[in-house]
Amino acid sequence: MAAEAAEAVVQTMSAAVPLAKLGAGLAVGLGTLGSGIGIGMIFGKSIESAARQPEALPLVQRLMFTGFALVEAQALYALLITFILLAVK
């Protein structure tokens, strides 16, 4: 009786699920590499240029936020693939 109850709770997964979960981890892990480097470069160069020429700060700040959002989107494309892969049954 306990075995039947246990069987009723166990769900079956297809053979692709372990690979999908591995892929999900790899996707977001590798995807954020490039985005991290990009964001670091954007902010580094913005700070450097603002330090060289403080009157350019408003322009630099605007371009900085623009660049940040565009680069972060790349990492989020990878996160989207992770979500898709996590939903594999």
Partner 1 sequence: MGEHHEIVHFVIRLGSLNLSITNNVVMLWLAAGLTFLFLFGAARLVNVSGTGRLPNLVESLLEFVRENVVEAFIGHNGAKWLPFVATIFFFILFNNLLGLVPIPGYFHAVTSNLNVTAALAVVVFIVVQVVAVIHHGPMYYLNLLFPKTAPGWLRFSLMPLIEVIGTLARPFSLAIRLFANMTAGHQIIVVLLTGDLIGVSYLLKQGIGMKLLAALPFVGVVVMDGFEIFVAFIQAFIFALLTALYLGEAMEESH
Residue ranges binding partner 1 (CB under 8 A): 62, 65-66, 68-70, 72-73, 76-77, 79-80, 83, 86-87
Half-sphere exposure of 72 (CA within 13 A, CB side): 7
Q: How far is the CB of 3 from partner 1 (least distance, A)?
A: 31
Q: Are 71 and 39 in contact (CB under 8 A)?
A: yes
d(C-alpha 20, C-alpha 79), whole Å: 14
Is the Cβ of residue 4 or residue 42 nearer to partner 1 in the bound state? 42
Is the Cβ of residue 47 or residue 83 nearer to partner 1 in the bound state? 83
Q: Are 89 and 14 in contact (CB under 8 A)?
A: yes
Is the Cβ of residue 7 or residue 55 nearer to partner 1 in the bound state? 55
